[in-house]
Amino acid sequence: MEPRDVHCTTSELAAELHVDPSTLRRWVDRGVIIPAFTTPGGHHRFVAADVRKQLATPGAADEAQTAGPDEPQTADEDQPQAIAS
């Protein structure tokens, strides 16, 4: 297993992608990204390379920017950033 294939926490992945952890949780809730697994306590674990692939999927950026019924639309925070591997 390569180092980047190690499971990382929401905070670790958020720092790597330069977004707020709440943005990642929102993306998970919207189905934009899927965690590798969720702990019994409800904490998500991710493989960064897998998330990059999910964010590169056509339509992922549009889905990430779509505000829910009770959410205000934010500017750039919800926009997945292209990250070089």
Average pLDDT over residues 4-11: 85
* Domain assignment of residue 17, yes or no: yes
**What is the number of other CB atoms lying within 10 angstroms of the CB of residue 70?**
5
Is residue 65 very low, low, confident or very high in pLDDT (cuts 50, 70, 90)? confident
The rounded distance, in Å, linking the Cα atoms of 83 and 35 is 18
pTM of the model: 0.68
* Domain assignment of residue 57, yes or no: yes
Residue 49 sits in a domain whose CATH number is 1.10.1660.10
Per the structure, the complete domain to which residue 52 belongs is given by 3-64
* Domain assignment of residue 37, yes or no: yes
Distance of CA 49 to the CA centre of its chain: 11
With 80 as the cut, is the pLDDT of residue 58 above it?
yes
pLDDT in tens, 45-57: 999 999 999 999 8
Query: How many domains is the chain built from?
Result: 1
State residue 66's pLDDT score: 65
pLDDT in tens, 16-52: 999 999 999 999 999 999 999 999 999 999 999 999 9
Contact between residue 30 and residue 63 where contact means Cβ atoms under 8 Å apart: yes
CA distance from start to end of the chain: 16
E strands present in the chain = 8-9, 37-38, 44-46
* Domain assignment of residue 77, yes or no: no
Task: Give the residue among 2, 5, 3, 1 at the shortest CA–CA distance from 49.
Answer: 5
